[in-house]
Structure 1
Amino acid sequence: MSEVSMDQTRGLNGTYEKIQRVDPFLWIIPLVLNCFGLVMIVSLTSPHSMEVWGSPFVVGFRQVQWSFLGLTAMFLIYLFPIAFWERLSAYLWMVAFLLSFCTLIPGIGIEAGGARRWIDIGSLQFQPIELLIFAVVIHLSKCLSRSKEAPLKMFLGITLAVIFISIIPLLLQPDIGGMLLLSIICMGIHVENRGWGYPLVIGSAGLALLFPFIIRESYRLRRYVAFLDPWKEPLDSGFQVIQGLVAFANGGLLGVGIGKGLQKMNYLPAAHTDYIFAAIGEEFGFIGTGLVVILFTMWAWRCFKVYKQAPSPFLRTLLWGLVISVLLPFFINVGGVTKLLPLTGMPLPFMSYGGSSLLMMWIRVGLIVRITKEIVGTPS
């Protein structure tokens, strides 16, 4: 990853010229987001850390450890050729699938909020769905790019089959948000490979049929009601939504200043995890949240330029799947925090506190940079 960037440019005929070197901003932009997230996590958790452990940096230091682990993983992933991951995709999917069942084993799985979505590995806690989504992206990309089946048979026999098998452990945990995220990512990969038709029609119909079951649980119904009218129960189901909007209002254009936000004083639950975007809005204002959106947009655009140059269907589909598996959680998190979507508890990529998500995001970056390296090395 030492190559200096020479961005591809658009020629006079409207086509893209071949990229000459690996773009360092593919990992520099995530690093900036990661560091910004670390600053916010320390700012938001310092009162609690000081009260419990006597130091304001305990929670932040844990995230620093995960950040170094993620950067190390990114470099290691970069060292392996894409053909290696293509060959092992089915095995990786199988391991991730079985690991997802470990959350249901007493003594290994951790129960929180009536669900089992975490496993305890020594002193580390890991969420297997992060690995499962990563493995599904690689395996489904390989299967779709190799298939010569008719579009409908491909959709039913490959895309839906991978979705239905993969969500079995998520149904048992249960993790409805994870199921929807995995399903939408798979649909998005199919869209890149074979178009919008079947995913749009069948996906929309399936969501409409499943919606009554999704909101059957009281806590999911309360989230949906809070999305429609949070002021109906401002001290109960609508509390977090309202406090998130208050954080944005407090921040205004320039913010109240780092460390000076009031929402971290137990006014805004999950301020350093799911609601870190709202906390950024309070302490850094519209300028801060706008910067985050711009950085994600710049990263997506640079990935798109690489995507346009991918020499094989597998590389193109894999890159597409990896990028949407980063951007979709971003859109869901920002949409939920700004009340454009119902809350789902989705972390903000590279920025929210949590090791599993951060580690797997960096692994995605490593694979994306590796794809770019192989495209650069491909003869024109």
Structure 2
Amino acid sequence: MLKRVRHSFLTEKESIEQEGARSTNVDMTLFGAVLALLAIGLVMVGSASMDVSSATFGDPFRVVFKQFLFMVVGLGVMGVMMLVPVSRIQQLSWVGLLVAFFLLVLVLIVGREINGSVRWIPLGFFNLQASEAAKLCVVIYLAGYLVRHLDEVRTRWSGFIKPMLVLTGLALLLLAEPDLGALVVLTVAVMGMIFMAGARFHQFLVMIAGVIVLIVLLIWMEPYRMARITSYMDPWAHAFGSGYQLTQALIAFGRGAWLGEGLGNSIQKLFYLPEAHTDFVFAVLAEEFGLIGSLLLLGLFLFVAWRSLQLGSRAEARGMLFHGFVAYGIALLFACQALINISVNTGLLPTKGLALPMISYGGSSLIVNCLAFGILLRIDFERRLTKATEVKPVAGRKAQERKTSEAAGGNTNG
């Protein structure tokens, strides 16, 4: 009987150790999806930029080579963030707000103007888009705030209003660039995080109404934004003016049909479609890979966003609130920006300059997104590790109780 008890105990112990070993692995499903997006992005930037790169720099591979370097740096940053304990990030979460304000003020002082907007800080080897880094910093700060003031957020208006005041300050700086798109993405992420933290629904509705009114006023106050709305309503009436980008993108979608023209065979990227390798890279992909390729990429975006929210939910259920809130924020930033870019490309939203995450050309967006997913993978790693350490004592106690019970039974029979 003792041999049978010992064998049962060792078998259970081995299974627990195997589960613990598995639970400390990286989420390879999410990691693989992110790598797939990076690979697709590199291919599409290369396809969409060769003619423009050749005409601008005399080298058709210069843009795609820079994108490759950005991708290598991004993967390195992702690897580093996977080694940083989330507790350390939580301790410094308040620094995130300071960094966000610093970057948004600095870009107004020393920023580089491109296409009428001052959004980039020149660093020599590349231009840092301040809003990209600031959005992630705000998410990290807000996650720390929600953990510290969770009861206040759920029960009182003050807990709800404080982060809105912070967002107002950031909004003024973003509008000074101007960068309405980044403001919309950040607002959605902040609102979503507060809602998932358990804020009262009527408070949430009041905030939504206020944001809608504010966005309408901001559009009405700027003539170029009103022109975009007009061209959005009827782009073909302004095909050679404010609706030029959208009409050229729609032509690309029409040419792509079901299966596309084939990789590299896009005509719209040949100086017809402006920003073909940045804001409108999805239209080039649709022309070359058709509806099927577009839907596959859209499905990949939806999967990454869903998986990220799922990891946040699992962390929150484990009692790791900061981990969960950061994961929610990263998922919302990623999903909202991808949704807006794809909607702009397809004419569902007015034209707005926002990069397609992990796909569009640009060092700031790619590196910051890789950094964010590095944090996300670390969050899930720690959640799995916590599960493994919590399961062992429970299993060990059950095995000990079974052993004691069988031993007591043996003594009675003897």
TM-score (norm 2): 0.83
Q: Which runs of 4+ in 1 moved over 6 A?
A: none
- Are 2:335 and 1:331 aligned? no
C-alpha separation between the residues in 1 aligned to 2:61 and 2:156?
A: 53
What does 1:236-275 align with in structure 2 at a 5 Å threshold? 236-275=241-280
Quote how far apart the aligned CAs of 1:145 are: 2.2
- Are 2:368 and 1:364 aligned? no
Note if contact 1:140-1:162 (Cα within 8 Å) is conserved in structure 2: no
Aligned to 2:187: 183
Quote how far apart the aligned CAs of 1:19 are: 6.2
Task: Tell me which moved more, 163-172 or 318-327.
Answer: 163-172
- Are 2:126 and 1:120 aligned? no
Aligned to 1:130: 132
Quote how far apart the aligned CAs of 1:287 are: 1.5
Aligned equivalent of 1:219, options 211, 219, 224: 224
Aligned equivalent of 2:102, options 66, 85, 98: 98
Identity %: 35
Unpaired segments ≥5 residues, structure 2:
1-21, 392-414
Deviations 1:185-213, CA, capped at 9 Å, x for gaps: 11111111024432332222332244133
Aligned to 2:91: 87
Note if contact 2:79-2:374 (Cα within 8 Å) is conserved in structure 1: yes
Aligned to 1:376: 384
Deviations 1:262-304, CA, capped at 9 Å, x for gaps: 0011111111111111110000111211111111122233323
Aligned to 1:352: 360
C-alpha separation between the residues in 2 aligned to 1:324 and 1:77?
A: 19
Note if contact 1:96-1:132 (Cα within 8 Å) is conserved in structure 2: yes
- Are 2:300 and 1:295 aligned? yes
Quote how far apart the aligned CAs of 1:38 are: 1.1
- Are 2:322 and 1:317 aligned? no
Letter in 2 for 1:77: M
Count of equivalent residues: 360
| SS at 2:60 equivalent | coil
C-alpha separation between the residues in 1 aligned to 2:190 and 2:161?
A: 12
C-alpha separation between the residues in 2 aligned to 1:350 and 1:169?
A: 25
Note if contact 1:19-1:306 (Cα within 8 Å) is conserved in structure 2: no
CA RMSD of aligned residues (A): 1.7
C-alpha separation between the residues in 1 aligned to 2:243 and 2:175?
A: 27
Note if contact 2:107-2:118 (Cα within 8 Å) is conserved in structure 1: yes
Q: Which has the higher helix share?
A: 2
Deviations 1:309-354, CA, capped at 9 Å, x for gaps: 2122222111111111111101111111111111221111100011
C-alpha separation between the residues in 2 aligned to 1:207 and 1:263?
A: 35
Letter in 2 for 1:136: V
Task: Tell me which moved more, 25-34 or 163-172.
Answer: 163-172
Task: Tell me which moved more, 129-138 or 296-305.
Answer: 296-305
Q: 1:308 to 1:52 in 2, by over 3 A?
A: closer
Note if contact 1:151-1:194 (Cα within 8 Å) is conserved in structure 2: no
C-alpha separation between the residues in 1 aligned to 2:138 and 2:189?
A: 9
- Are 2:78 and 1:74 aligned? yes
Aligned to 1:9: none
C-alpha separation between the residues in 2 aligned to 1:346 and 1:235?
A: 22
Quote how far apart the aligned CAs of 1:20 are: 6.8
Unpaired segments ≥5 residues, structure 1:
1-17
Task: Tell me which moved more, 337-346 or 206-215.
Answer: 206-215
Letter in 2 for 1:112: I
Aligned to 2:37: 33
Q: 1:135 to 1:291 in 2, by over 3 A?
A: same
C-alpha separation between the residues in 2 aligned to 1:178 and 1:349?
A: 13
Larger Rg, first or second structure (1 or 2): 2
| SS at 1:93 equivalent | helix
